[in-house]
Structure 1
Amino acid sequence: MYDIRPAAQDDLDAVLALILRLQADDAHHIGYLGETLGDVSAELAEFEPDWSACTVVATDDSGWVRGALTVELDTDTGRAYLHGPFVDVPVNHPAGSRIWDQTADALYARVAPLLDGVADRELLGHTGHRRLAAFAERHGFSAARPCGIHVLDGEGLRGLMLREASCPRTGPAREMRVLPTDAAVHEAVAVLHERCFPKTYLSGRKLVDGSRSHTVVVAMDGDRVLGYASGKAEPSEFYLDFVAVEPDVRGQGVGGALVTELVWKLAEKSGARPQAAAAILAGNRSSQRLFDRLGFRLHLELVAYRAQAA
């Protein structure tokens, strides 16, 4: 049994190496934190108040980090997000499942003080990660609809970058803006976000207040917000996480223009990346059609598990 303890800041490099090592083997089914050291480091750097204060690790007899679990608290929604548990067990080890289960359960028990009073908890994993699914069931988490990660690279990404990004004209003064802009636009984007993504990890207020590293582009028709797209540049890709268009202008090319403009702005701000990736909830046919038309293809499927108070 591994020793479970709170993380120290000096453990960060070891945890990054652990996650990258597990991601390198498809049998571990960990594929959503990015493909490079920079990707994973950027994800962990967003945790508050700091990474080590909300992380516990598992170490072996030699002191090597063999497991980790990080808790991210969203004070706006009163929800806790679990990143992990990550456990380094050889895939074909005869006692691998038992070691993984015991370590994951011990990590979860150790973060209990961080979760005190937070009944709404969520964790995310690959749909093929059966050990994580069993962990979720043991601790009262229920599975939501899967979410597909769709990617565009190579000639497809270069073709997107060459597209005309301007919105098709169906009204006067059609334009694109990048937040921050005026307060009325911020409010309209936040309201549209909450309407289209009411239970997501990022509130409308946080989307528009600049507290995250997101770039948000907005399609305007005069003073009216038609839609928005948001994303960020990771070290190995452009990640597009939200696209929303008002119902009465859907099917008119606004969504495609927003995605194109967003990729352009991310490249302008952060430089080129080898691929773009977008998350699409299973059953969201309009988003699926949008990204299919732009040339994106399914890369992997993730599932969120959520536990809530009765």
Structure 2
Amino acid sequence: MYDIRFAEPGDLGATMALLVRLQADSAHHIGYLGETVEELRAELGEFEPSWADCTVVAVDADDNITGMLSVEIDAELGRAWLHGPFVDVPVNHPAGSRIWDQTADAMFRRAAELLTGITDLELYGHTAHRRLAAFAERHGFSAGKASAIHILDNGELRTLLLRDAKCPSEREMRVLPTDKHVHEAVAVLHERCFPRTYLSGKQLVESKPETRTVVVAMDGERVIGYAAGKAQPEEYYVDFVAVEPDVRGQGVGAALVTELLWKLAAEHGARPQAAASIYSGNESSQHMFARLGFRLHIELVAYRHPA
């Protein structure tokens, strides 16, 4: 059994090496985190008050990092997301599953010290991550809908960025205006289309432009849709796309995604690919992204511990 302790700033390098190695295997993949050193450094660097203060690690007798679990807390929503658990088990070890389970459970117990007053927890991992599924079941998490990450890369992304993103029927698209009624409409549409997600409607419209870009489709003074995303170290990421039901199927969603990616490229420079998360079974969204050139990359599932 490994020793469990809170991380120290000097653990970052060894921890990232562990994550890069394990994230490359679908059996250990956690959906919140990237797969490269650059992505991991950027994402871990966003944790507050610091990466070490919200991370628990497992160490062997020589103090080598063998496991990691980070906790991201949103006090406003009363929710927390578990980035992990990750456990490095020796290949073909006869007690590998037991070591993984015991280490993961021990890190979760230690991380519970950070979760005072928080009972709404979420895990997000690859559908093939069987140990994570068993961990979630042991601790009372319920599996939600699976989602699929679709990516657009190489020439397809360049081709999309050169397209005319004009919204159909003389409607217009613009970066989220400051008008109060537009903010309210976008927030309401977001809550209706993405209830209980990791970002509230209020947080979405109050996002800082340098961290998230929101493009809105307008028909006169009416908000008919929006797309939100951000530039990450290795890709543009489309967080959300929502269109009012009465204008769906008219090309508004595709125009929003195209405009969003163009804005991200203009503001943050080139990236080798774009990615978007789509709930499994959402055929209209899947078809829309497929028409834009996106292809299936991986399938993930969220586990939720209800409030």
TM-score range, shorter chain: over 0.9
Q: Does structure 1 retain, via aligned residues, the 8 Å contact 2:7–2:53?
A: yes
Q: Which runs of 5+ in 1 are unaligned?
A: none
**SS of the counterpart of 2:202?**
helix
**SS of the counterpart of 1:299?**
strand
Partner of 2:288: 290
Q: Once the two structures are aligned, what percentage of the paired residues are identical?
A: 70
For 1:217-256, list aligned pairs within 5 A.
217-256=215-254
What is the deviation of 1:55?
Answer: 1.1
Greater displacement, 196-205 / 18-27: 18-27
What is the TM-score when the length of structure 2 is the normalising length?
0.95
Partner of 1:190: 187
What CA deviation, in whole Å up to 9, does each residue of 1:20-74 have, x standing for no partner? 1112344534565223212112222222222222111111111111111111112
2:149 matches 1:149? yes
**SS of the counterpart of 1:50?**
coil
Q: Which runs of 5+ in 2 are unaligned?
A: none
Structure 1 CA distance for aligned equivalents of residues 41 and 58 of structure 2: 19
Partner of 1:258: 256
What is the TM-score when the length of structure 1 is the normalising length?
0.94
Structure 2 CA distance for aligned equivalents of residues 308 and 28 of structure 1: 24
Structure 2 CA distance for aligned equivalents of residues 300 and 113 of structure 1: 33
Greater displacement, 299-308 / 179-188: 179-188
Q: Which amino acid aligns with 1:122?
A: E
When residues 31 and 204 of structure 1 are mapped into structure 2, their CA distance, relative to the original with a 3 A threshold, is: closer
Q: Does structure 2 retain, via aligned residues, the 8 Å contact 1:68–1:84?
A: yes
Structure 1 CA distance for aligned equivalents of residues 50 and 29 of structure 2: 27
Q: Does structure 2 retain, via aligned residues, the 8 Å contact 1:9–1:52?
A: yes
For 1:5-84, list aligned pairs within 5 A.
5-30=5-30, 33-84=33-84
When residues 34 and 180 of structure 1 are mapped into structure 2, their CA distance, relative to the original with a 3 A threshold, is: farther
Q: Does structure 2 retain, via aligned residues, the 8 Å contact 1:22–1:30?
A: no
Q: Which amino acid aligns with 2:191?
A: E
What is the deviation of 1:287?
Answer: 1.0
Partner of 1:96: 96
2:162 matches 1:162? yes
Structural RMSD (CA): 1.6
Greater displacement, 92-101 / 245-254: 92-101
Report the count of equivalent residues.
306
Structure 1 CA distance for aligned equivalents of residues 30 and 189 of structure 2: 32
What is the deviation of 1:179?
Answer: 2.9
Partner of 1:279: 277
Q: Does structure 2 retain, via aligned residues, the 8 Å contact 1:28–1:91?
A: no
Q: Does structure 2 retain, via aligned residues, the 8 Å contact 1:23–1:31?
A: no
Q: Which amino acid aligns with 1:252?
A: Q
Q: Does structure 2 retain, via aligned residues, the 8 Å contact 1:38–1:234?
A: no
What is the deviation of 1:13?
Answer: 2.1
Structure 1 CA distance for aligned equivalents of residues 21 and 179 of structure 2: 45
2:211 to 190, 210, 213: 213
